[in-house]
Amino acid sequence: MKKKNHISTKAGFLFALPAAIYMLVFVGYPMIQNFILSFKNVDVYTFADSTKQTFVGLSNYTELFAGEDAILSTAIINTLIFTVVSIFFQFFIGFGLALLFNKKFKGSAFFRGVTMISWLLPVTVAGLLFKFMFASKGGIINQLFMSLHLIDAPLEWLLEPKLAMAAIVVANIWIGIPFNMMLLITGLTTIPEEIYESSKLDGANKLQTLFQITIPMIRPAIMSVLTLGFIYTFKVFDLVWVMTKGGPINATELVSTYAYKLSFEQFQFSKGAAAANILFLILFVVGIFYIKLINDEEEVM
């Protein structure tokens, strides 16, 4: 019995080997390179001549955080605001839609499919559409608000720092809702119909059913949606790049756009790598949390 178990563990490692090799080559190697790069002084002047490249310790990191015109802290705060607000609305709207489309009514499958469009659309295209919609002159959002008398004068959506952040968050919420909805619907379908029937017999009302049965039953799905959502929202790039490029004046600068600007616009490769590593570290912590969560769920099961 014990021996058999041993063999299956060995076989298990064998099966995981190709994946592990793949990860080492395509994820591990660039990551390590990136870490090394972030401790050097590679920029436009030292790029070509490796003799001029030296290790500078943590100075790239300290400059990013404490330098005179350091905007990394701003970028991290912006990214956090962007992520938390996006996920909050994505989740609640997605959950509402999931509950709705989990009901079998005429056309429910069709409409569920239609809501997926915003997830299927390339993010760049969605970004451009929202850029047009939020235009301060002739943008449909201003026209709508004006005709509803919510505002007297057109708002300068992408020009005022706070409104620009609101605009990219709205665009991101719209894109992310279907992802939340689909994962939650999948969770909902795992709840056996009998449980609802028996709770009905016990006299539970709709709210009680929701809070006592539905939500506890799909807790794993909810936690996955939230952590995965956090990770992919935190590293969003294309949407913001298309809509504001981090502007106006860094109001929507995220860690990802800042890292890109440093590396590929200003050729400050080491600093860009350092900024990307900060992003990685934050997500790594979230990732650990997610793994712990999955394992806890497994133990419960």
Partner 1 sequence: MKRRMVSTLLCLTMAAGLAAGCSSKDSGNSSGGSSSSGGGESAGGKESVVIWDYFETDAQKNMMQDMIDGFNESQDKYEASHVYVPFADYEKQLTLGMASGELPDLVILDGCGMASFIEMDLFGDVSDANISWDEYMEGPMSSTMADGKHYGIPFATNCTALFYNKDIFDAAQMEYPDENTTWEDFRKMAKALTKDGVTGFGNAATGTDEGTFQCLQWLYTAGGDYQNIGDGVDAYNLMQEMVAEGSWSKDCVNWTLSDANNNFVAGNLAMQQNGPWQIPGIEKDAPDLNYGVTVLPKKDADSGQATSILGGENMGAVKQDDMSGAIAFMEYYDQTDVMVECMKQYGSFPPKTEAAQDSYWTDDPIQKAFIQQLDTSIPRGPSASWPAYSDAIQTGFQEVMTSAKTPDKAATDTQAAVDKVKEGEK
Q: Which of residues 132-161 bind partner 1 (CB under 8 A)?
A: 135-137, 156, 158-161
Indicate whether 271 belongs to the interface with partner 1 (CB under 8 A): no
Q: Does 57 bind partner 1 (CB under 8 A)?
A: no
Specify which residues 55 forms β-bridges with: 40
With a CB cutoff of 8 Å and minimum separation 6, the contacts of 240 are 127, 168, 246, 252, 254, 256, 257
Contact string 220-249 vs partner 1 (x = CB under 8 A): --------x--xx--x-x------xxxxxx
Which is closer to partner 1, CB of 31 or CB of 204? 31
Please select the residue that binds partner 1; options are 149, 298, 300, 301, rule is CB under 8 A.
Answer: 298
Gap between the Cα atoms of 248 and 240, Å rounded: 12
Closer to partner 1 by Cβ: residue 97 or 167? 167
The conformation of residue 160, written as its DSSP 8-state character, comes to S
- Phi–psi pair at 40, nearest 5 degrees: -105, -175
Query: 286 with 231: CB under 8 angstroms?
Result: yes
Total chain residues near partner 1 (CB under 8 A): 75
Point out which span in 102-110, 175-183, 191-199, 261-269 binds partner 1 (CB under 8 A).
261-269
How far does CA 125 lie from the centroid of its chain? 18
Per-residue contact string for residues 187-216; x = within reach of partner 1 by CB under 8 A = ------------------------------
Q: How far is the CB of 151 from partner 1 (least distance, A)?
A: 16
Q: Which residues ranging from 277 to 296 are in contact with partner 1 (CB under 8 A)?
A: 277, 279-280, 283-284, 286-288, 290-291, 294-295
Contact call for residue 69 and partner 1 (CB under 8 A): yes
Q: Considering Cα of 83, then 85, then 90, then 95, what sign does the dihedral take?
A: positive
The distance of closest approach from Cβ of residue 44 to partner 1 in the complex, given in angstroms and rounded to an integer, is 5
- CA distances for 18 relative to 12, 28, 46, 228, 235, angstroms: 11, 14, 37, 25, 27
Q: Which of 79, 123, 126, 131 binds partner 1 (CB under 8 A)?
A: 131
Nearer to partner 1 (CB atom), residue 89 or residue 267? 267
Cβ closest to partner 1, residue 101 vs residue 134: 134
- Cα–Cα dist 19/229, whole Å: 24
Q: Are 255 and 75 in contact (CB under 8 A)?
A: yes
Report, in Å, the least distance between residue 27 CB and partner 1. 5
Among 20, 109, 125, 144, binds partner 1 (CB under 8 A): 20
Q: Please give the DSSP secondary-structure letter assigned to residue 151.
A: -
Give the Cα separation of 245 and 219 in Å (integer): 37
Q: Distance between CA atoms of 212 and 216, rounded to whole angstroms?
A: 6
